[in-house]
Structure 1
Amino acid sequence: MFCVAGFECDDSNFLEKLSDLFFRVCVDNKRFQEANSVFDYMKKMGIKIDERSCILYLVALKKCDKGDSFLGFFRRMVESGVEISVYSMTIVIDGLCRRGEVEKGRELMNEMASKGVKANVITYNTILNAYVKRKDFGVVPEVLRLMEREEVEYNAATYTVLIEYIGNIGKHDEVEKVFDEMRDRRVEVDVHLYTSMIRWHCCRGSIKKAVALFDELSEKGLVPNAHVYGALINGLCKTGQMEAAQLLLNDMQSRGILVNRVIVNTLLHGYCRKGMMDDASRLVSALENKGFEPDVFTYNTMASGMSRSKRQEEAKRWLFAMVEKRLTLNAVNFTTLIHIHCKEGNIVEAKKLFQQMLRRGESPNIVTYNALADGHSKKGELKEAYKLRDEMEGTGISPDVYT
């Protein structure tokens, strides 16, 4: 018998609903200890435990990165007679894979198969994706054979992982074959798959094919997201097609899609590589007016670009702006400043910056040493230049042709 506010009730259905509600409230508030107590009470009293409520608990534990806890709770679900579906099993396997414990995930999948819970395409995609992400390519064919044996049909997400896998192992000619096979099977292509194919074509320098896929995506009624735009903008920037890249950015903004830092910095890098520093400056100014905050990469890109374009004062302004914003200078920033001061003949200031760089724990690279050696050489200080070369070799950096 159950008592609430002095009211006695022996209605098992009422008790089941109340216990389930209390369990969900504990989970929503991340009061995991209390949730466990409610679960134990329900088990002890023989109250039916709803798998859907348990799934909420598993998701909450996974979000909090409590790997051992969600696997332990899943085992308690099994032992307590909760009706287990492939959905709760896949949530646990996904959590294990995200923690790099793919083997544990596969073991759980095999264990549950012996209990009658068969993995579905989402389960297999989770495991495949984990192996591909950690570049454990040797196991991928084994998992694919298992899918075939279990007659699990590929979906768009499977093909997305396959394309990444095939590209990584260097079988570039097979990527389009896989894409065509997917079309032949009439698998519905999603935005993620288009993004993978566009990115792959851009990496291969096939910009026309990438643009054609972007147009095809829109014709199919799919809405391109920031990842699709980012992939194509990156490809256009790498091939120096800055006008087309800018048009894509404008298209993004007209659709109300948030322009992220990666896309902005990609465009800036493209402009700077082509020496289009005024265009780069205008882009930063326009985006700053819309609330964009430059990051370390933005400052690095602009300062390096200005320096290569022999606009040294502007390069210094970008780096000094970093200091004003209280952003920490890194090895690239120090090297750029050292290079500028050496070009200006101010070797004293360059050496000060070099020492400051070392004190901050930033490791100079060959570009840093070459800039300083060049500065000393132009002042006729060859002993200092040779000393730098010896110091560089002592740190394990081999001189290059420029040295």
Structure 2
Amino acid sequence: MSNQAIATNIAKLILKSGLQPFKTTPSLLSKLDSRVTQSILSDPNVPTKSCLRFFNFLRRNPSCKPDLPAHLILVCRLYRARKFAEMKNVLKFIVNGGNLWSNVERIVSSIGGEFNEPKFVENFCDMLFRVYMDKRMFDSSLEVFDYARKNGFEIEERSCFEFLLALKRSGNMELCVEFLRQIVDSGIEIRVSSWTAVVDGLCKKGEVVRAKALVDELVCKGFKPNVITYNTLLNGYIEIKDEGGVNEILSLMEKDVVDYNVATYTMLIEWYSRISKIEESEKLFDEMLKKGIEPDVYVYTSLINWNCKFGNMKRAFVLFDEMTERRLVPNAFTYGALVNGACKAGQMEAAEMMVNDMQSKGVDVNQVIFNTLIDGYCKKGMIDEALRLQNIMQQKGFEIDVFTCNIIASGFCRLDRREEARRLLLTMEERGVAPDVVSFSILIDIYGKEENFAEAKRLLKEMEKKGEVPSVVTYNTFIQRYCKKGKMEEAYKLIDEMKERGLMPDTYTYTSLMNWECASGNVDRALELFNEMPQRGLNRNEVTYTVMISGLSKAGRADEAFKLYDEMNTQGIIPDDRIFSSLIASLHEAGF
């Protein structure tokens, strides 16, 4: 029986089976070869759907799997029938088929007949480009792109965009930038959103300067950034805390007459607040309203959060009322900021009112909110209220975590109820809560106050055995206790140990040392430490100045004390009554 006769017989069986699964006889199947398969798939009398069912039947039979030409014939038929999803699947079979896979030039040259015409080949290349991309075979996608470009075909801009996104998601920004340049050089009209995605990828990797250089390069080639491009760069510079970069982007936006959108205002309000320019944030907020740009919940939450952090609770509550009047629904972060701010301000009643309000609005009270409230009560010395909230928290199904334990233990310590704090921390593990560095630091402080240095040191070793690395706070606890006992040599040894571990003494460390050097009459040594602080990048706070001015005053060094007082005022640090008392005393010491 000839190949044509075999093909005709099988075609009849295919037509007869209709929508039913295709069946054939073993003898007929044994005569099926690549030429017969190609002839059946090319037969215009066999519907495309039937061809696809026959093709899938062959793929399930190891003895007669379709070859590359058979795949391509079906691809062509599916293209003609506008069945692009099925066409893409067949291309995936080629890519995944091992022995079917070949370079793009051979694959395209295998397409024969009426389909070997430019429009089909162009669409075929575009789809093959996408298939390779989906399989993360990026080099093969680029091979298709190069082939298409050299032969006068164009890969669709949308496909190029998706390829850029795929490279970005894979973290391959080098290839992403390189491909963007290839797109630009090939003359494909690329949307601003496509190349902005590449800028965003660089910014997310912290390569903001390079991202800015890429934008400059594209601008020189006639591309125009939009507000999203500038927002991307703006966010990049904000993330790396580059104030100069932020200002440069704002200048460019002004020069190019690019108006801010709500995202721009949100970022800038957050940025200026973060660098303690809350007044600038408020100005931007007012400007936003005047321009008719509706602030969203994120803008309000940012402003509320920073006003709370700066202690401007009255303004924070005004903003909260304003956002609800605009029918904006506060989220857990909005409420969390207000609860935290109220707790820090000691306004526990207001904090609880906020919690009640968020529950009435259907916003879940999370563990962070509970811990914040417990901390607020502990700092006010209201330990019974804190314990009441702990019980409510457990009743609502929240497990007591390490933060809860540390907060309550600190609350007990503030009330000098050290035994209860110790008991809580020592029984944490029995409750399934692993102590952290803060837990150990609180315990070490308890033993330090009891002058039980042996137990404190034992805890330090136990802490390290459990994988908890001592922090600056842990060391400060020891240093302060040694200083109070006049064991300055031990204190300085600990500072050396800190440095060996890569931990740098902080403002608290220096202030503790200065305080006890002054108390021991070593004012010059205290001054050395005081002058060393800026060299170490440490800010001198009100307590630091108070310690030093007091030490100089007691030593009768009034001129130096008053000089530091002037410096303190220049730094914007407000002196308290202790400093005035020390300065007056220094005048008496000096004989005035």
Q: Do Structure 1 and Structure 2 share a fold, with TM-score over 0.5? A: yes
Measure the CA separation in 2 of the matches of 1:17 and 1:242.
67
1:369 aligned to 2:479? yes
Measure the CA separation in 2 of the matches of 1:174 and 1:124.
20
1:327 aligned to 2:434? yes
Identify the match of residue 389 of structure 1 among 468, 487, 491.
Answer: 491
Measure the CA separation in 2 of the matches of 1:328 and 1:26.
50
Q: How does 1:227-306 map to 2 (within 5 A)?
A: 227-257=333-363, 259=365, 262-290=368-396, 292-293=398-399, 295-306=401-412
Measure the CA separation in 2 of the matches of 1:301 and 1:24.
55
What is the TM-score with the length of structure 1 in the denominator?
0.82
- Given residue 114 of structure 1, which amino acid in structure 2 is its aligned partner? C
1:124 aligned to 2:234? no
Equivalent position of 2:7 in the other structure: none
1:209 deviates by: 1.7
1:84 deviates by: 0.9
1:4 aligned to 2:71? yes
1:45 deviates by: 5.7
1:194 aligned to 2:300? yes
1:19 deviates by: 5.3
Q: For the Cα contact (< 8 Å) 1:23–1:39, is it kept in 2?
A: yes
Q: How does 1:136-151 map to 2 (within 5 A)?
A: 136-151=242-257
SS at match of 2:327: coil
Q: Gapped runs of 5+ residues in structure 2?
A: 1-67, 77-114, 498-504, 520-592
Query: Cα RMSD over matched residues?
Result: 3.5
- Alpha carbons of structure 1 residues 227 and 8: separation in structure 2 relative to 1, 3 Å: closer
Measured against aligned partners, the alpha-carbon deviations of 1:311-342 in whole angstroms (never above 9, x if no partner) come to 43442344345545473631x32221122234
Q: For the Cα contact (< 8 Å) 1:85–1:117, is it kept in 2?
A: no
Measure the CA separation in 2 of the matches of 1:219 and 1:29.
51
- Given residue 134 of structure 1, which amino acid in structure 2 is its aligned partner? I
Measured against aligned partners, the alpha-carbon deviations of 1:234-263 in whole angstroms (never above 9, x if no partner) come to 222221122322332344345444555554
Q: For the Cα contact (< 8 Å) 1:160–1:196, is it kept in 2?
A: yes
- Alpha carbons of structure 1 residues 351 and 145: separation in structure 2 relative to 1, 3 Å: closer
- Given residue 327 of structure 1, which amino acid in structure 2 is its aligned partner? A
Measure the CA separation in 2 of the matches of 1:314 and 1:61.
57
Measure the CA separation in 2 of the matches of 1:89 and 1:327.
48
1:70 aligned to 2:137? no
- Alpha carbons of structure 1 residues 352 and 79: separation in structure 2 relative to 1, 3 Å: same
Measure the CA separation in 2 of the matches of 1:260 and 1:52.
43
1:362 deviates by: 1.8
Q: 183-192 or 288-297: which moved more?
A: 288-297
Equivalent position of 2:164 in the other structure: 58
Q: For the Cα contact (< 8 Å) 2:278–2:306, is it kept in 1?
A: no
Equivalent position of 1:185 in the other structure: 291
- Given residue 179 of structure 1, which amino acid in structure 2 is its aligned partner? F
For CA contacts below 8 A with separation 6 or more, give which structure has more relative contact order: 1
1:176 deviates by: 2.4
Measure the CA separation in 1 of the matches of 2:147 and 2:268.
46
- Alpha carbons of structure 1 residues 197 and 342: separation in structure 2 relative to 1, 3 Å: closer
Q: For the Cα contact (< 8 Å) 1:190–1:222, is it kept in 2?
A: yes
Equivalent position of 2:322 in the other structure: 216
Measure the CA separation in 2 of the matches of 1:350 and 1:106.
53
Equivalent position of 2:218 in the other structure: 112
Q: For the Cα contact (< 8 Å) 2:482–2:488, is it kept in 1?
A: no
- Given residue 109 of structure 1, which amino acid in structure 2 is its aligned partner? V
| Amino-acid identity (%) | 45
Q: 228-237 or 93-102: which moved more?
A: 228-237
Measure the CA separation in 1 of the matches of 2:131 and 2:364.
35
- Given residue 478 of structure 2, which amino acid in structure 1 is its aligned partner? T
Measure the CA separation in 2 of the matches of 1:125 and 1:163.
13
The number of residue pairs the alignment matches comes to 394
Measure the CA separation in 2 of the matches of 1:388 and 1:134.
39
- Given residue 7 of structure 1, which amino acid in structure 2 is its aligned partner? L
Q: Gapped runs of 5+ residues in structure 1?
A: none
What is the TM-score with the length of structure 2 in the denominator?
0.58
Measure the CA separation in 2 of the matches of 1:61 and 1:284.
48
Measure the CA separation in 1 of the matches of 2:151 and 2:514.
76
Measure the CA separation in 1 of the matches of 2:69 and 2:368.
58
1:159 deviates by: 1.8
SS at match of 2:188: coil
Measure the CA separation in 1 of the matches of 2:128 and 2:423.
59
- Given residue 130 of structure 1, which amino acid in structure 2 is its aligned partner? G
Identify the match of residue 135 of structure 1 among 234, 241, 246.
Answer: 241
- Alpha carbons of structure 1 residues 247 and 170: separation in structure 2 relative to 1, 3 Å: closer
- Alpha carbons of structure 1 residues 327 and 65: separation in structure 2 relative to 1, 3 Å: farther
1:145 deviates by: 2.1
1:401 deviates by: 3.6
- Given residue 204 of structure 2, which amino acid in structure 1 is its aligned partner? R
1:351 aligned to 2:457? yes
- Given residue 389 of structure 1, which amino acid in structure 2 is its aligned partner? A
Measure the CA separation in 1 of the matches of 2:151 and 2:369.
57
- State the structure with more CA Rg: 2
